[in-house]
Amino acid sequence: MNFAFSEEQEQLRDAVRKFLEAKSPESEVRTLMETTDGYDPAVWSQMAKELGLQSLHIPEAYGGQGFSWVELGIVLEEMGRALLCAPYFSTVVLAANAILNAGTDEQKAELLPGIASGETIATLAFTEPNGKWDASGITMEASGSGDAVTLTGEKMFVIDGHSVELIVVVARQAGTSGEDGIGFYTVAGDAAGLTRTALATMDQTRKQAKLEFSNVAATPLGAAGSGWAALSKTLDQAAVGLCNEMAGGAQFVLEESVQYAKDRVQFGRPIGSFQAIKHKCADMLLEVESAKSAAYYASWCAAEDNDELPVVASLAKAYCSDAYFHSAAENIQIHGGIGFTWEHNAHLYFKRAKSSEILLGDATYHRELLAQRIGI
C-beta of 93 vs 258, nearer to other proteins: 258
Tell how far CA 194 is from the center of its chain. Answer: 24
Query: How many other β-carbons are positioned within 10 Å of the β-carbon of residue 288?
Result: 25
Q: How far apart are CA 71 and CA 241, in angstroms?
A: 10
Smallest separation, CB 73 to other proteins (Å)? 10
Instruction: Give 13: exposed, middle or buried? Use CB within 10 Å, 0-12, 13-18, 19+.
Output: middle
Distance CA 168, CA 176 (A): 20
| C-alpha to C-alpha distance for 53 and 205, rounded to whole angstroms | 19
Nearest distance in Å: CB 114, other proteins: 17
Is the distance from CB of 51 to CB of 11 less than 8 angstroms?
Answer: no
Which residues share a beta bridge with 169? Answer: 125, 185
> Between 52 and 193, whose beta carbon lies closer to other proteins?
52
- Closer to other proteins by CB, 2 or 27: give it: 2
Supply the minimum distance, in Å, between the C-beta of residue 109 and other proteins. Answer: 21
Rank residues 170 and 246 by Cβ distance to other proteins and give the closer one: 246
Closest to other proteins by CB, 14 or 147: 14
Smallest gap from Cβ 284 to other proteins, in A, equals: 9
Distance CA 109, CA 292 (A): 34
Is the dihedral angle over the CA atoms 39, 36, 239, 364 positive or is it negative? positive
CB of 129 to other proteins, least distance (A): 24
| Nearest-approach distance from CB 173 to other proteins, in angstroms | 32
Distances in whole angstroms, Cα of residue 267 to Cα of each of 163, 264, 273:
51, 10, 11
Kind of pairing between the strands at 194-198 and 182-188:
unpaired
Cα distances from 180 to residues 174, 176, 224, 226, 229, in angstroms, run: 11, 6, 10, 7, 10
CA atoms of 203 and 6, how far apart (whole Å): 34
Minimum CB separation from other proteins for residue 320, in Å? Answer: 10
Which residues contact other proteins (rule: CB under 8 A)? 1-6, 8-9, 11-12, 15, 49-52, 65-68, 70-71, 258, 261-262, 269-270, 272-275, 277-279, 281-283, 285-286, 289-290, 292-294, 296-297, 299-300, 303, 312, 315, 318-319, 364, 367-368, 370-371, 374, 376
Least distance from C-beta 65 to other proteins, angstroms? 6
Nearer Cβ to other proteins (40/287): 287
Q: How far is it, in rounded angstroms, from Cα 309 to Cα 64? A: 23
Using the minimum distance from each CB to other proteins, give the nearer residue, 211 or 301.
301
Q: Which is nearer to other proteins, 25 or 262 (CB)?
A: 262
Measured from the CB atom, the residue of 204 and 299 that comes closer to other proteins is: 299
- Determine the Cα–Cα distance for residues 203 and 311; give it in Å rounded to an integer: 28
Burial of 289 (0-12, 13-18, 19+ CB in 10 A): middle
Rg (CA), the chain: 21
| Dihedral (CA of 52, 356, 344, 248) sign | negative
Q: Which of 156/258 has CB closer to other proteins?
A: 258
State in angstroms the smallest separation of the CB of 108 from other proteins.
20
Q: How far is the CB of 257 from other proteins (least distance, A)?
A: 9
